[in-house]
Structure 1
Amino acid sequence: MYQVLGPKILIGTACWLAVSIFLMAGHFGVSVNARIVVAVVDGTLLIGLANPVWRFIWNRTGPLGRWLSKKVYPDLNGTYDVVLESNWPIVKRMLDASRKEDERFDPFNLDQPAPDLQRVELEATIEQTWFDICMRMYPKATGAVIKSSRTLVTAPLESTAAKDKELVYLFEQENEKRAPTDDERFYGAARLVIDPAVPGRLSGEYWNNRSWRRGVNAAGRLTLIKRLVSRD
């Protein structure tokens, strides 16, 4: 999550910590009281990096927590209900047409309706710290095609005047059932936009390289809704 702070804050913090080491060591003729103040500031910064501390501030301090979520980055930790909508039925429709097992289908003909997207329900867990964000996805029911999916690289993106905050990541996926043309594992990427109006909702697109050598790799939409946890 540190990536969203920007280079000025990161460089400034690194410079402060470097200078504070010299100050606490008694260099530059700094008084004992000043060294105590520096040590308290450094300790506060380090304690603030601990997950229980920053998550408490983000989630339990009302207006301050909401302001930090908006200005820095929201706390994404938790379990999510996921709806994956795949364009595989469209790919399969083209394959069936090429084998003459179905009528001719032209994906560029907007007057010819395309098959509905395939809907799959999953669940995801996100573990977020200041230094890393990890996501794993699993099927909700037995017999699903997807066995598991995990992130390899994640990048939180800050908001701008033109776009909201985002989570971009690369993932590795393994399927429970594989076709003869399938790879044992395959890779993909996703770009999720964090909804500023609905806390705990992320949505966006994904794409993968599954069976790309055969030209049948798929893409689609992802929607994640965070499960509410009682704080009583």
Structure 2
Amino acid sequence: MYPLLPWKWLSGLLGLVIAITVYVDDVGQWFGVPVPDTMVIRLLPLILLGVFSGFFGPTGYYAPWRMLWRLIPGLNRWFPDLNGVWVGTTNSNWPTVKKLVETALSTGKVTEQDLHDTPEQRDAMAVQITNSLFTLRIAAGLSSTDGESHSITAKPWRHQHTDRIHLSYVYEQHTSNHAATDEETHLGAADLALTTEDVSRASGTYWTRRSWRTGRNTAGTLELSRLEPRKAKDMSLRDYAAAHKAKITD
């Protein structure tokens, strides 16, 4: 998540590390504590790097930086804590794709207006986001299938004009009990934009290359909200998605 930090912060941090390394022996002399040059050159950079990594590197609920962020929520404006389970809905163009395929296999006709008026397919989904200063991983599960997806690359970025934080990622989905016209594994991509006023909400779009050779690849929209800051060990993402589907269909 470090790409979200302003470059002035990063350069300032680097300058601070250099200043500490250069002047630590002088500070030690002021307090009557000799600091050998060997320690300054060899050990101090490693100590500073270890402290920095130990503070910002972990992703667990009790990670030092996450505890500080819970005390000072305003820090999420610059570097948000997105860890936990998110639930929401997908709206897919699959009914439109299906209508096109069925028409191609028959003698019937379909107009562009018919395709435009075809309602999207709505489904519940659950997403687990894992992030720290150095890490961003995204996994997802749907209520309608037993497939789960995992990001193979993910990058956060900040929009130059709206200042909204985006998460853009490529994912791989595995579906074990897939239909004959489906694929066991396919790639997809998504772009999520966090709500400016509340980083616990996000929306965006996705695309897939699922069965693209026969024109069955899909696209759609996503809407998510953060449900809890850590995933329960006895629940899968599909369990979360199924529970959310029951809630929104009641």
TM-score normalised by length of structure 1: 0.78
* 1:104 counterpart = 2:87: no
1:69 corresponds, among 72, 76, 89, to 76
Contact 1:73 1:165 in 2 (8 A): no
Which is helix-richer, 1 or 2?
2
- 1:45 shift after superposition: 4.5
Question: For residue 124 of structure 1, what is the amino acid of its counterpart?
Answer: V
State the match for 2:56 in structure 1.
49
Report the alpha carbon displacement of residue 106 of structure 1 after superposing the two structures with TM: 2.9
- Letter matched to residue 105 of structure 1: V
- Which stretch has the larger CA shift, 7-16 or 130-139? 7-16
- Ranges in structure 2 where 5+ consecutive residues have no aligned partner: 34-39, 231-250
Q: Deviations over 1:197-224 (max 9, x none)?
A: 3441111000011111222210001111
Per-residue deviation, residues 19-76 of structure 1 (Å, max 9, x unmatched): 544544x4xxx2415799x97x948755542542221222223xxx22x212x13211
> Following superposition of structure 1 onto structure 2, how do residues 27-176 of structure 1 map, counting pairs within 5 Å?
30-32=26-28, 42=48, 45-46=52-53, 48-51=55-58, 52-61=63-72, 65-66=73-74, 68-70=75-77, 72-100=78-106, 103-107=108-112, 109=113, 113-140=116-143, 144-176=144-176
The whole-number CA distance in structure 2 between the counterparts of 1:213 and 1:23 is 64
Question: How many angstroms does 1:192 deviate by?
Answer: 0.6
Counterpart of 1:2?
2
Measured in 1, the distance between the counterparts of 2:4 and 2:198 equals 21
Query: Is the 8 Å Cα contact of residues 84 and 120 (structure 1) preserved in structure 2?
Result: yes
The one-letter code matched in structure 2 to 1:136 is A
The aligned length equals: 213
Cα offsets for 1:170-197 (capped at 9, x unmatched): 1111124323343321111101110123
Q: CA RMSD in A?
A: 3.0
Identical-pair percentage: 27
